[in-house]
Amino acid sequence: MRSRRPPRRQRPPAARTLDLKKLAAWRLERGLTLAQVQELTGIPRSTLCDFEQGRTVLQLHKLLDIIRLYELDLFELAALFRLKVASPGHLRLFRSACEQTGRSGQEALEDLIIRFYLENSSVAHHLKK
């Protein structure tokens, strides 16, 4: 008789969708231990560890608590969710420009949208007359 292999454990969907290695790296960059994150968020240390390793899923409100605690910016959120909003080179240039001007990524994007709208809308055309 052939012995059956145990079924391979599937990673939770969050582990396939989110870049959890980056989340752990950002925690370390901010000088936080799992125990400190537990104290500040109320999420058990073992759950945090399992989440960073992709072995469990967090409820959305707990993930949001971590995102707020780590003060993740627009670029980090895009990386966390594996979003490809632009090439890595363009994102580096955009981030560098934001840092040089003291603007957040969100502020810069809002300015870009407003400027684009004003320069390209018929409303702006009539206002310029």
Quote the pLDDT of residue 117.
62
Same domain, 78 and 91: no
In terms of pLDDT, which residue wins out, 94 or 121?
Answer: 94
What is the number of domains present in the chain?
A: 2
In terms of pLDDT, which residue wins out, 48 or 1?
Answer: 48
- Rounded mean pLDDT of the chain? 80
Look at residue 78 and tell me if it is in a domain.
yes
CATH number of domain containing 79: 1.10.260.40
User: How far are the Cα atoms of 15, 19, 51, 66, 69 from residue 59, in angstroms, in the given order?
Assistant: 13, 16, 11, 11, 16
Q: For tokens 């240039």, what's the residue? A: 93
Give 32-55 pLDDT, tens digit per residue.
999 999 999 999 999 999 999 988
Tokens at residue 60, please? 């959305």
Confidence of residue 127 (pLDDT cuts 50, 70, 90): very low
Look at residue 15 and tell me if it is in a domain.
yes
The pTM score is 0.60
